[in-house]
Structure 1
Amino acid sequence: MGMTRFITGIFSSLMLYRIGRKPQALISSVGVGLSFIALGSYIHSKSPPSVIPVVCYVSTVMFATLGYYTIPLLIMYELYPLQVRGLLGGITVSLLNFMIFGVNKLYPYLRNLIGIANITLCFGTSSLLGSIYLYFYLPETKGLTLQEIEEYFNDRRATLVSQRHVIAAQLSQGSSSRNVDRNATKSQDMKKQKSENKSENKSENKSDQDKSDVLQLRKKKKDRQSEGSTSASKDERE
Structure 2
Amino acid sequence: MLFSGKFAIEFYAVDIFIKAGGHIDKYASAVIIAIIQLVGSLLFIPLVRVCSRKLLIISSSFIMSSALVVLGCSMYAQVEDSLMSDMAGLDWIPLLSVVVYMVAAPLGLCSIPFMYVAEFYPAELRSLLGGMTIAISNIELFLVVKTFPNLEESIGDHGVFWLYAGACFLAIFFTFSYIPETKDKSLMQVEGKFDRLRSTARASPWVTPLPSPSVSSVRKLQVQTLMFTQ
Structure 2 length normalisation: TM-score? 0.65
Q: Which runs of 5+ in 1 are unaligned?
A: 157-238
Superposition pairs of residues 148-227 of structure 1, within 5 angstroms? 148-155=189-196
Which of these residues, 91, 94, 97, is aligned with residue 53 of structure 1?
A: 94
What amino acid is aligned across from residue 159 of structure 2 in structure 1?
A: N
Structure 1 SS opposite 2:184: coil
What TM-score, normalized by structure 1, do the two folds share? 0.63
Partner of 1:122: 163
Residue equivalent to 1:29: 61
Distance 1:126 1:69, change over 3 A: closer
Q: Is 1:8 equivalent to 2:49 in the alignment?
A: no
Aligned to 2:178: 137
Cα distance between partner residues in 2 of 1:91 and 1:129 = 23
Distance 2:137 2:113 in 1: 10
State the AA in 2 paired with 1:141.
T
One-letter amino acid of the structure 2 residue matched with residue 58 of structure 1: V
Task: State the shift of 1:49 in Å.
Answer: 5.3
Residue aligning to 2:123: 82
> Offset of 1:68 from its aligned partner?
2.3
Paired with 1:69 and 1:127, the residues of 2 have a C-alpha distance of: 11
Which runs of 4 or more aligned residues in structure 1 lie more than 4 Å from their structure 2 counterparts after TM superposition?
A: none
Give the one of 85, 91, 103 matched to 1:62: 103
Whether 2:114 is the aligned partner of 1:73: answer: yes
Give the one of 76, 96, 115 matched to 2:137.
96
Query: How much does 1:130 deviate?
Result: 1.9
Per the alignment, residue 19 of structure 1 pairs with 51
The sequence identity of aligned pairs, in percent, is 26
Cα-to-partner distance string for 1:172-199 (whole Å, 9 max, x where unaligned)? xxxxxxxxxxxxxxxxxxxxxxxxxxxx
Provide the C-alpha distance between the structure 2 equivalents of 1:155 and 1:17, rounded to a whole number of angstroms. Answer: 29
Report SS of the residue matched to 2:193: helix
| 2: CA distance, partners of 1:105 / 1:150 | 36
Greater shift in the superposed pair: 47-56 or 95-104: 47-56
Partners of 1:137 and 1:42 lie apart in 2 by 34
- Unaligned runs of at least 5 residues, structure 2: 1-32, 79-87, 198-230
> Cα offset for 1:129?
2.3
How far, CA to CA, are the matches of 1:65 and 1:95 in structure 2? 20
